[in-house]
């Protein structure tokens, strides 16, 4: 009797509109009495006479969402095991001398996509926390109603997680079995598919979101208009992905010059080799874009803070170019002259960036409600208002700022495992930076809105007092 369908009189206000979902009522025994049971049995009999009984087979055939989710997880585990097994066996087939060189080159092609996939997963977590904490990120980024939610972001990340390792496994397998031409085509197809998906002009694959991303990138490269929050927010993320862009440039360069599945990259005089001048240029571009954004912001607002922020990004330029000189000067000159200058510029950039994160981007007062969700959640009790959260965020930000600066140096360029680990840690640093940067901006937006409301109410009160009449 509880939760069953009840016949409702025609003049009842509970009648639903056409096309809406059916309404289910919980009826107590003391509300309707025996009359409700008679009406209920009468409605069942009338439904049977009209042939309107609901077929139970259609409901029983549909699997539960939990069962489908477990089945997908099982398939994902099987797929991951197969990729690891095939990749490991393929690497073990190579000689020891060739193995390290080839793994470095394979990592060069797939390292950027693996890190981008990781960043997409983390961005989905950011959006989930914002949604739980009732932070209006869509308003701050000027997103339309069809913007991607955290679930859709995770769906994209899932497909990226499947496609990229599959292509990498095929690359290793084909090369180890002598199919060099087929192996060389794997990263080319992956890069071409990613580019086509991003610029596809038809209304599929989240066209509005892709267009928003491309438009924001265009505004970052050419800051000819007023800088919005989305512009400098994405540009800050790009500074953490400068190593990703550098590897993308080297990979595309090798594809254009048909050097895929070779070891020509290791030669110093190679067009796309490890000593190429394009490497430090691509590394510094995100900082240059951010630098010009700050200058544009100063032109629009005349705030000296924008100039100080531009100075912060300019300190990354000597770090990158001084480290690149190691490949173009004699070792004695590098050790005696350029290395001390590089160390000084690295310390200056790290401390300046750390100071700016704490005092400007986060403002420390934003540690108020980012982990206090609107709905009761276990993370609220674990993270909200805990002293160790502040200590962890500040301490880890300082350490990872220093390691990220060191990563831009020339000393670790060939140690791809260490580079990947440091770049992944920088992604995690930027991931936690996003929480407090968005929270700080959200608090500023709300405070401005409250001030405007107070000002408007005061003006209305003054007008009412001036126009008032004594009765």
Q: Where are the domains of the chain?
A: 1-62, 69-199+241-276
Which pLDDT score is estimated for 268?
Answer: 53
pLDDT band (50, 70, 90) for residue 328: confident
Contact assessment for residue 380 and residue 369, using Cβ atoms and an 8 Å cutoff: no
Which pLDDT score is estimated for 15?
Answer: 42
Which pLDDT score is estimated for 317?
Answer: 92
Tell me the average pLDDT across 200-225: 91
Burial class (CB in 10 A: 0-12, 13-18, 19+), 383: middle
Tell me the average pLDDT across 121-135: 91
pLDDT band (50, 70, 90) for residue 6: very low
pLDDT band (50, 70, 90) for residue 414: low
Which pLDDT score is estimated for 5?
Answer: 46
Q: How do residues 177-186 score in pLDDT, each as one tens digit?
A: 888 889 999 9
Instruction: Report residue 435 as tokens.
Output: 């929480």
Which pLDDT score is estimated for 52?
Answer: 47
Which pLDDT score is estimated for 70?
Answer: 87
41-50, 305-314, 403-412: least confidently modelled range:
41-50
pLDDT band (50, 70, 90) for residue 28: very low
268-282, 296-310, 429-443: least confidently modelled range:
268-282
> Considering the chain, what percentage of its residues have pLDDT values greater than 90?
37
Contact assessment for residue 306 and residue 297, using Cβ atoms and an 8 Å cutoff: yes
Name the residue with higher pLDDT: 60 or 439.
439
CA of residue 299 relative to chain centroid, distance: 30
Which pLDDT score is estimated for 64?
Answer: 84
What's the chain's average pLDDT? Answer: 80
Highest mean pLDDT among 114-123, 202-211, 298-307, 314-323: 114-123
Residue 45 has pLDDT above 70, yes or no: no
Which pLDDT score is estimated for 142?
Answer: 86
Residue 25 has pLDDT above 50, yes or no: no
Residue 329 has pLDDT above 90, yes or no: no
Beta carbons within 10 angstroms of residue 215's beta carbon = 12
Residue 43 has pLDDT above 70, yes or no: no
Which pLDDT score is estimated for 244?
Answer: 92
Residue 420 has pLDDT above 80, yes or no: yes
> Considering the chain, what percentage of its residues have pLDDT values greater than 70?
77
Which pLDDT score is estimated for 13?
Answer: 43
Tell me the average pLDDT across 124-141: 89
pLDDT band (50, 70, 90) for residue 30: very low
Contact assessment for residue 111 and residue 89, using Cβ atoms and an 8 Å cutoff: no
Sign of CA dihedral 245, 246, 252, 255: negative
Tell me the average pLDDT across 400-428: 78
Name the residue with higher pLDDT: 144 or 355.
355
Residue 35 has pLDDT above 60, yes or no: no
pTM (two decimals): 0.80
Highest mean pLDDT among 27-36, 55-64, 324-333, 444-453: 324-333
Name the residue with higher pLDDT: 300 or 464.
300
Please state, in angstroms and rounded to a whole number, the distance separating the CA atoms of residues 125 and 431: 9
7-11, 77-81, 193-197: least confidently modelled range:
7-11
pLDDT band (50, 70, 90) for residue 407: low
Length of the chain: 471
Which pLDDT score is estimated for 462?
Answer: 54
Tell me the average pLDDT across 336-352: 90
Instruction: Report residue 464 as tokens.
Output: 């009412």
CA of residue 109 relative to chain centroid, distance: 20
Which pLDDT score is estimated for 159?
Answer: 94
Which pLDDT score is estimated for 57?
Answer: 52
Name the residue with higher pLDDT: 26 or 86.
86
Which pLDDT score is estimated for 326?
Answer: 81
pLDDT band (50, 70, 90) for residue 231: very high
Please state, in angstroms and rounded to a whole number, the distance separating the CA atoms of residues 195 and 162: 17
Residue 444: closest CA among 140, 138, 126: 140
Name the residue with higher pLDDT: 54 or 434.
434
Residue 454 has pLDDT above 60, yes or no: no
Residue 117 has pLDDT above 60, yes or no: yes
pLDDT band (50, 70, 90) for residue 368: low
């Amino acid at each position: 009797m509880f939760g069953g369908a009840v016949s409702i009189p025609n003049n009842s206000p509970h009648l639903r509109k056409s096309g809406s979902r059916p309404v289910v009522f919980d009826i107590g025994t003391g509300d309707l009495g025996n009359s409700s049971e008679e009406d209920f049995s009468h409605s069942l009999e009338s439904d049977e006479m009209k042939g309107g009984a609901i077929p139970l087979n259609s409901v029983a055939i549909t699997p539960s969402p939990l069962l489908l989710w477990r089945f997908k997880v099982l398939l994902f585990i099987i797929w991951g095991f197969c990729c690891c097994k095939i990749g490991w066996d393929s690497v073990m087939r190579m000689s020891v001398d060739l193995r390290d060189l080839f793994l470095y080159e394979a990592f060069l092609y797939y390292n950027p996509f693996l890190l981008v996939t990781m960043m997409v997963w983390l961005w989905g977590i950011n959006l989930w926390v914002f949604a739980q904490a009732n932070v209006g990120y869509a308003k701050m980024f000027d997103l339309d109603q069809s913007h991607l939610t955290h679930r859709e972001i995770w769906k994209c990340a899932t497909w990226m997680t499947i496609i990229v390792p599959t292509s990498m496994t095929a690359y290793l397998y084909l090369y180890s079995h002598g199919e060099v031409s087929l192996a060389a085509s794997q990263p080319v197809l992956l890069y071409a598919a990613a580019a086509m998906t991003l610029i596809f002009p038809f209304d599929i694959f989240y066209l509005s979101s892709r267009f928003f991303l491309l438009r924001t990138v265009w505004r970052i490269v050419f800051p000819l208009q007023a800088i919005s929050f989305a512009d400098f927010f994405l540009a800050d993320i790009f500074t953490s992905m400068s190593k990703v862009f550098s590897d993308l440039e080297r990979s595309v360069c090798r594809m254009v010059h048909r050097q895929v599945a070779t070891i020509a990259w290791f030669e110093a005089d190679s067009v796309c080799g490890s000593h190429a001048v394009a490497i430090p240029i691509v590394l510094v571009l995100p900082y240059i874009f951010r630098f010009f954004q700050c200058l544009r912001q100063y032109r629009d607002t005349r705030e000296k803070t924008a100039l100080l922020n531009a100075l912060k990004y300019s300190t990354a330029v000597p770090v990158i170019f001084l480290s690149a000189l190691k490949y173009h000067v004699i070792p004695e000159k590098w050790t005696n002259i350029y290395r001390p200058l590089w160390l000084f510029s690295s310390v200056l950039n790290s401390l300046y960036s750390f100071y700016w994160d704490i005092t400007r981007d986060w403002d420390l007062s934003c540690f108020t409600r980012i982990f206090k969700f609107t709905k009761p959640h276990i993370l609220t009790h674990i993270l909200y208002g805990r002293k160790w959260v502040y200590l962890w965020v500040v301490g880890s930000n300082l350490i990872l700022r220093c390691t990220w600066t060191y990563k831009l140096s020339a000393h670790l360029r060939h140690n791809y495992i260490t580079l990947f680990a440091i770049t992944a840690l920088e992604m995690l640093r930027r991931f936690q930076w996003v929480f407090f940067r968005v929270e700080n901006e959200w608090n500023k937006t709300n405070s401005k809105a409250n001030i405007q409301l107070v000002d408007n109410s005061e003006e209305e009160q003054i007008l009412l007092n001036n126009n008032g009449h004594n009765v």
